[in-house]
C-alpha cells in the first residue's frame, strides 16, 4: 500500500478502501481462502491506482485524442469511445466505474469466487458465477437515502456494471435528474452512460434551475465553462415528465445500440424505466422493479 491508501475491514465483512477521492466498498463471496486471496489482490492493485491515474490526468480531462497508458485509463477510454461520436465526453466520465472494474478484475483473476462486487461511490462492478444474483437498491437522493427501486442482476444477464449519476452527487451533472441508475455490460460503460442520460434529463432555460460554469466551482473540471446544475426548485408533474422523457429518449437510444441494458431515471417523486421489459428474455433476466411509493 502507498502511505495514503487505507484498507479497512467493515464489521459485516465488507472491505473499505480509501485513497484520495476514491472510496471503494467491496465484497467477495466464496470459499474463505479464496475470498481472502481476492481481498489481498484487490488491496495490491488498489495501492497503485490513484498515482497511475494522476500521472495521466491532464490527458484524461480532455476528449480522447491519443490512447492513454494506464490500465484504468484504457478502460475509461474504451468505455467513453462509443459515446464520443455524438456527445462531448472525456474519459473522466467513466473514471469511477473503470476503477471499480480494475479492482474487481484483480480479485477475479486471483481467486475463484461465486460472486463479488466493487462499489466505487455508487458505480459498481459485478462478478457473478452460474446461478448467482445480485440485488441492487437504488437511491434517489444521497441526503435522503431511501430506495426508490431495485434491480436484480443474474449471471445470465449481460450487465456486469451499475452506475448512478445525478446533480446531487459528487460529480457534476448538466441535467436535473436526482439519480439515473444504469445497468450496462461494464461498470465504466454504465458510468459514462449514466452521466449522459442524467445530463439529458433537463428542461433547458427554466427559472427553477440554477446553473454555474463548472470551472467556477472546480477550476480543473473537464467540463470547462459548461453550465452545471447547482439547484433545482419546484417543478410541476408535467415538467418532471417532460424532463424525464428527454432522458428516457437518450437511454432508449443507448439501449438499442447495445451500450446499456436498462436504466431507471428518478426526478422528484417520479421514476421512469427503460429496457426493463424489452423482451421476454430481458424481462426475466433484467428486472428493474419500481416501488409503488418511495418512503421518506
Given a contact cutoff of 8 angstroms between Cβ atoms, the answer to whether 36 and 123 are in contact is no
d(CA 166, CA 79): 19
Per rule CB under 8 A, is residue 145 in the interface with other proteins?
Answer: yes
**Which one of residues 19, 102, 191, 202 is an interface residue with other proteins (CB under 8 A)?**
19
State the maximum Cα–Cα separation within the chain, in Å, rounded to a whole number. Answer: 57
Q: What SS3 string covers 25-74?
A: EEEEECCHHHHHHHHHHHHHHHHHHHHHHHHCHHHHCCCCCCCCCCHHHH
**Closest separation between CB of residue 147 and other proteins, Å?**
7
Shortest CB 218 distance to other proteins, Å: 7
- Site for other proteins (CB under 8 A): which residue of 68, 91, 122, 275? 122
147 binds other proteins (CB under 8 A): yes
Residue 179 contacts other proteins per CB under 8 A: yes
Q: Is 102 near other proteins (CB under 8 A)?
A: no
Closest contact distance (angstroms) between CB of 85 and other proteins is 26
Q: Is 3 in the site for other proteins (CB under 8 A)?
A: yes
Does 91 participate in binding other proteins (rule CB under 8 A)?
Answer: no
Q: Are 272 and 178 in contact (CB under 8 A)?
A: no
| Sign of the CA dihedral running 41, 136, 22, 25 | negative
Residue span binding other proteins (CB under 8 A) among the ranges 31-39, 103-111, 129-137, 237-245? 129-137
* Least distance between other proteins and beta carbon 162 (Å): 5
Among 58, 204, 207, 219, which residue interacts with other proteins (rule: CB under 8 A)? 219
229 binds other proteins (CB under 8 A): no
Binds other proteins by CB under 8 A, chosen from 32, 65, 66, 135: 135
Nearer to other proteins, 1 or 257 (CB): 1
| Residue with cell string 452506475 | 163
Q: Which is nearer to other proteins, 89 or 124 (CB)?
A: 124
Residue 50 touches other proteins, criterion: CB under 8 A: yes
Write down the least CB distance from residue 55 to other proteins, Å: 8
Binding residues for other proteins, rule: CB under 8 A, are: 1, 3-4, 6-12, 14, 16, 18-21, 23, 25, 27, 50-51, 54, 57, 117, 119-124, 134-139, 141-143, 145, 147, 150, 162-166, 168-171, 179, 181, 216-220
Amino acid at each position: 500500500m502507498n502511505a495514503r491508501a487505507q484498507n479497512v475491514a467493515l464489521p459485516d465483512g465488507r472491505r473499505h478502501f480509501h485513497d484520495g477521492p476514491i472510496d471503494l466498498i467491496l465484497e467477495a463471496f466464496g470459499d474463505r481462502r479464496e475470498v481472502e486471496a481476492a481481498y489481498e489482490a484487490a488491496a495490491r492493485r488498489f495501492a497503485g491506482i490513484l498515482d497511475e491515474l494522476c500521472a495521466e490526468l491532464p490527458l484524461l480531462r480532455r476528449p480522447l485524442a491519443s490512447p492513454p497508458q494506464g490500465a484504468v485509463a484504457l478502460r475509461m477510454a474504451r468505455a467513453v469511445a462509443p459515446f464520443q461520436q455524438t456527445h462531448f465526453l472525456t474519459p473522466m466520465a467513466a473514471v469511477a466505474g473503470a476503477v471499480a472494474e480494475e479492482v474487481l478484475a484483480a480479485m477475479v483473476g486471483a481467486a475463484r469466487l461465486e460472486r463479488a462486487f466493487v462499489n466505487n461511490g455508487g458505480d459498481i462492478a459485478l462478478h457473478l458465477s452460474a446461478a448467482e444474483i445480485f440485488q441492487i437498491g437504488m437511491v434517489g437522493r444521497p441526503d435522503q437515502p431511501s430506495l426508490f427501486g431495485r434491480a436484480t442482476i443474474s449471471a445470465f444477464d449481460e450487465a456486469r456494471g451499475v452506475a448512478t449519476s445525478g446533480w446531487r452527487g459528487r460529480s457534476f451533472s448538466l441535467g436535473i435528474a436526482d439519480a439515473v441508475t444504469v445497468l450496462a455490460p461494464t461498470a465504466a460503460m454504465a458510468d459514462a452512460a449514466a452521466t449522459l442520460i442524467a445530463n439529458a434529463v433537463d428542461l433547458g432555460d427554466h427559472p427553477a434551475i440554477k446553473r454555474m460554469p463548472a470551472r467556477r466551482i472546480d477550476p480543473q473540471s473537464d467540463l470547462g465553462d459548461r453550465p452545471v446544475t447547482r439547484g433545482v426548485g419546484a417543478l410541476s408533474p408535467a415538467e418532471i415528465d417532460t424532463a424525464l422523457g428527454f432522458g428516457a429518449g437518450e437511454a432508449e437510444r443507448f439501449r438499442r445500440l447495445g451500450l446499456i441494458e436498462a436504466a431507471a431515471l428518478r426526478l422528484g417523486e417520479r421514476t421512469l424505466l427503460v429496457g426493463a421489459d424489452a423482451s421476454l428474455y430481458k424481462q426475466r433476466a433484467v428486472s428493474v422493479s419500481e416501488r409503488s411509493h418511495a418512503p421518506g
